[in-house]
Amino acid sequence: MIDLNQILDQTKSIAKEAGAFIRKERQHFDLKKVEEKGFNDLVSYVDKEAEKIIVNKLSKVLPEAGFITEEGTREEENKTYTWIIDPLDGTTNFIHGIPVFCVSIGLMKDNEIVLGVVYEVNLHECFYALKGHGAFCNDTPIRVSAAPSLSQSLIATGFPYSAFAQIDEYLEIMKVLMQKSHGLRRLGSAAADLCYVACGRMDAYFEYNLNSYDVAAGSLIVQEAGGEVTDFKKGNDFLFGREIIAGNKPVHEGLWKELDQIWNK
């Protein structure tokens, strides 16, 4: 019998261990060691080594589980349980010394995320959730904000660094939201954005051209904090569908209505 509470505790410890490695390496990081996986898609030895730490440890926690990993340390899908891992979400921030980057670990059972851990390295904040058991930050329960409408919300988003085919629609959405909310913020880490929605610092978040490892853990944390998470069509294909809207329910609804008129027309 799998004890998810015990697995959660172990996962939190592993995320913090990887975070400590990342934090140490940032102190003397050499920009010459940055690689490009694709246009504006950066990676460093820190991402790769952090992922190895996480995969090695998690393999012992739940040996029967598969893996989906950003850096390809281990790829093994079609299992009942699958770890979905981003060892360093916010690599570009890390490389440039901007202190917003996270370790993100989600556990999927069949096609549903049942456990999520996001460790924000710089603030030492560990966000986590088990499905059906609420969301927490450093052992304190968290909830999405009580903002009653889009007009009274602060919204997080991400800028596309490739996949520019719909950039005009995206910029149009931003133009509308600048006039219908308290403003937009771009932190550079989807995992941090989602956790900040979960704890009420942001009221909503949207982005496209994402991968499962960007959102797996954070999406569950938002849901367990009382939030709504969908794709741009208000469906459930946000994990592998490469687009996501997350927020408290009234702000999510208002954001989706504005986005739907432009993006899905």
Annotated binding site for Mg(2+): 70, 86, 88-89, 214
**Which residue ranges are tagged as binding site?**
70, 86, 88-89, 214
Cα separation, 168 vs 165, in Å, equals 8
According to DSSP, the residues that pair with 119 across neighbouring strands are 103, 126
User: Dihedral of the CA atoms 198, 194, 212, 255 (nearest 10)?
Assistant: 100
Tokens 């969301």 -> residue: 135
According to DSSP, the residues that pair with 66 across neighbouring strands are 82
Q: Three-class SS string for 65-134?
A: CEEEECCCCCCECCCCEEEEEEEEECHHHHHHCCCCCEEEEEEEECCEEEEEEEEECCCCEEEEEECCCC
